[in-house]
Homo-oligomer: A and B are copies of this chain.
Amino acid sequence: MRGLWLEAQALRLRDDLEAPTPPAGEALVRVRLAGICNTDLELVRGYYPYSGVPGHEFVGTVEAAQGAPEWLGRRVVGEINASCGACTACRAGRRTHCEKRTVLGIVARDGAFATHLRLPIGNLHAVPEALDDESAVFTEPLAAALELQEQVRVSPADRVVVIGAGKLGNLVAQTLAVTGCRLRVLGRSPRPLALLAARGIPTAGIDALEPRQADLVVECTGHPDGLELARRAVRPRGTIVLKSTYHGKAEVDLARFVVDEITLVGSRCGPFAPALALLAQRQVDPRPLIEARYPLSDALAAFEHAARPGALKVLVDCH
Contact = CB atoms under 8 A, between A and B. Distances in A.
Contact residues of A: prevailing secondary structure:
mixed
Interface string A209-231: 00000000000000010010000
Contact of A261 (B249, B254, B266): B266
Contacts of A248: 253
Contacts of A89: 235-236
Given A227-B254, A246-B254, A94 B236 contact: yes
Count chain B CB atoms within 10 A of each CB in A151, A256, A261 and give the residue with the most.
A261
Contact of A264 (B245, B253, B257, B268): B257
Interface in A223-273: 224, 227, 235-237, 242-268
Given A227-B254, A237-B94, A245 B259 contact: yes
A254 B97 contact: no
B258 A249 contact: no
A262 B94 CA distance: 13
Given A97-B237, A236-B97, A258 B267 contact: yes
Contacts of A227: 254
8 contacts: A97-B261, A151-B263, A227-B254, A250-B254, A252-B252, A260-B266, A261-B265, A261-B266
Interface of A: 89, 94, 97, 147, 151, 224, 227, 235-237, 242-268
